[in-house]
Amino acid sequence: MKQRGEKITALTAYDYPTGRLLDESGVDIILVGDSVGMVVLGYQDTTNVTLGEMLHHTRAVARGVKQALLVADMPIHTYETPGQAMETATKLVDAGAQAVKLEGGVSHIAQIRAITEAGIPFMAHIGMLPQSVREQGGYRIKGRTQLEAEALLADARAVEQAGAFSVVLEIVLAEVAKQITNAIGIPTIGIGSGEYCDGQILVTHDLIGLFPWFTPKFVSPEARVAEEIRRAARAFIERIKRSGQA
């Protein structure tokens, strides 16, 4: 698709109906993201998500996905060594994922190699790394300085060389995302990184307005599902109070 100049679409899913609906809609990639921690499980960030939780949600989504490429996130502290990374990736594949993703570039090349050499398709994730949000002091744009831009380019080249089939660029300056996209052969999938990436990914809850308490600045929601849920619940409450009939 990158070679043909065809844009790649990717969305997150955490349960069977959403996975099935997105799949039926024709999205190219479905990610069981560890963003499940924030938009489904109510954690403050993704740093509390466990492998058990990821396996549970991956199994549910896998039951609903037939066409799209199903990628699962490796949660924090489950890829500290190459051996642990391979073990975690294998468990996610056994749960139904066709590929796995972890956060890091040059810093995690040994882990990435262990995964790709085991024959497990691997998607990289560089730029803003939500699992490191506490150390990074918030969700800040990456690539603003020359040094940061060069480090991102080095990360992208390194993950490609280690066998990644694609790389997510999260909140990277658009011009830097463009440079990276032109410099590597594998597709870049952007989130908050401008229009020049080979594809785009969003957290589905942001796209459909299902997490109304916070929407990232770079998202233009296509629906207001939270409002519909509130409307339906209020209508139900009103009907029962009035007539007693469900």
Check 170, 222, 227, 228 and give the catalytic one. 170
- The reply to whether 40 sits near ligand KIV by the rule CB under 6 A is no
Structural tokens at position 133: 């949000």
Distance CA 113, CA 115 (A): 5
Site string for ligand KIV, 168-197 (x = CB under 6 A): x-x--------------------x------
Q: How far is the CB of 245 from ligand KIV (least distance, A)?
A: 41
Q: Which one of residues 8, 11, 12, 68 is an interface residue with ligand KIV (CB under 6 A)? A: 12
Q: Which one of residues 86, 171, 203, 210 is an interface residue with ligand KIV (CB under 6 A)? A: 203
Among all chains, which residue has been given the structure tokens 């109070």? 241
Phi first, then psi: give them for residue 102, nearest 5 degrees: -135, 165
How many residues make contact with ligand KIV (CB under 6 A)?
Answer: 12
Q: Is residue 169 within 8 Å of residue 193, measured between CB atoms? A: yes
With both helix axes pointing from N to C terminus, report the angle between 82-94 and 109-117 in degrees, rounded to the nearest 10: 50
Residue with the closest Cβ to ligand KIV?
33
Beta bridge partners of 189: 168, 199
Is 135 assigned a catalytic role? no
Q: Which one of residues 23, 28, 53, 73 is an interface residue with ligand KIV (CB under 6 A)? A: 73
Q: Is residue 35 within 8 Å of residue 12, measured between CB atoms? A: yes
Contacts with ligand KIV by CB under 6 A lie at 12, 31, 33-35, 73, 125, 168, 170, 191, 201, 203
